[in-house]
Amino acid sequence: MSREVHNGPTDQTQARGEPYRGDPDGGEGPAEAPPQQLALDAWHRAKGGRMVPFAGYQMPVQYEGIIAEHLWVRESAGLFDVSHMGQLLIHGQGADSALETLLPGELRALPDMKLRYSLLLDEHGGIIDDLMATRRGDEFYVVVNGATKAGDIAELERRLPSGVLVDHMKEQALLALQGPRAAEVLEGIAPGVSGLTFMQGGAFRAVARPAWISRSGYTGEDGFEISIDAHGARELAEALVADERVRPIGLGARDSLRLEAGLPLYGHDIDRDTTPVMAGLQFAINKRRRAEGGFPGAERILAELANGPVQKRVGFAVDGRQPVREGARVLDGEGNEVGRITSGGHSPSLGRPIAMGYVAAHLAEPGTALKLESRAKLCDASVAPMPFVPHRYHRKGAPA
């Protein structure tokens, strides 16, 4: 499941070409090394991709326009290149128990070939990164965010015992096929994948090459993530877009899709200043871990589970037509600042602006009326349940 996405403007102005706003994982910051190229860089350009610097890479922000690409994913199938993400293999005796000292999730009892969303935590319970971990026998395949992968690898190597090793799978590309027609498309290229259910993975062959495929994604739609040797990525991408049901999709639509799905973006909606409970991610801490603790920041996190956090991540329905962006202040009826917007934009599916952010816990109930202040302008908003658009994951027992 890929969590890292573009967090620039997602309204119609950007679809017409408003400039990209910078790296979503920690701001624009000081000048860094020139962006690296993905294995599919030339392919994206040939398909009309508008390339922008993102997480240390040149990546396509859009092809035909963010709104059109967004709606295509909702109705058919879109192909995303998320090869900037960090693909790691963690192995060695007791890898599951060792990882549980860094993550709050249940890994020891995780069934083979099953995925689990989890969080790499610091000693205070702050979120260093969010990630996906898949058990593959005695080892774990872990996908982390692209802009944080170097720090994550260093953190894992420093904190895991010497017998547990971290291999960075640098030669693997990662493609995501998302949308209601993704399964029928991919079944023709990698036979058997339609038998997977949400949060399950397996080894397959695609375009005559080995591929690790999981039924997961970060758009709220049914879909798959495909790890394949970088040398085979172009052939796979060509095979997929040769199907009229598939179009290449950029980072802009990826962001608007995940926002509609109510999914947090690392570096904006979650970071070291937020805990899993504040972020509404307590589902990632199962019953045994809550009872036993033993993960970083457990004392603070367990206290928040028992008594509630000071702030909570919530969704906002925004009045009017003007999107409200990250950094906007959230005000109560008396004009007091009670929170901040962390993500916001135009919802192509709903045809109106939406946002998410943090508010004081006593104001987190859906329907609570608040005001948002952005660029010295006030607008009315109310706390709204998330997701804004229902998830359509293919869960066990659902029809194929």
What are phi and psi for residue 311, nearest 5 degrees?
A: -125, 155
Domains and CATH numbers, the chain: 12-86+170-260 (3.30.1360.120)
Task: Report the interhelical angle of 66-75 vs 251-260 (nearest 10°).
Answer: 60
- Reading the block at residue 75, the tokens are 């109705």
Q: Which residues contact 12 (CB under 8 A, 6 or more apart)?
A: 67, 346
Per-residue pLDDT, 232: 97
Torsional sign, CA 360, 361, 362, 363: positive
Enumerate residue ranges in the chain where pLDDT < 70: 1-32, 397-400
Please give the model's pTM, rounded to 2 decimal places: 0.92
The pLDDT tens digits of the residues spanning 256-284 come to 999 999 999 999 999 999 999 999 999 99
The pLDDT tens digits of the residues spanning 26-44 come to 343 445 688 999 999 999 9
Per-residue pLDDT, 398: 63
Per-residue pLDDT, 129: 98
Per-residue pLDDT, 400: 52
DSSP state, residue 243: S
Per-residue pLDDT, 396: 81
CB 105 within 8 A of CB 133: yes
Per-residue pLDDT, 4: 53
DSSP state, residue 84: T
What are phi and psi for residue 57, nearest 5 degrees?
A: -130, 160
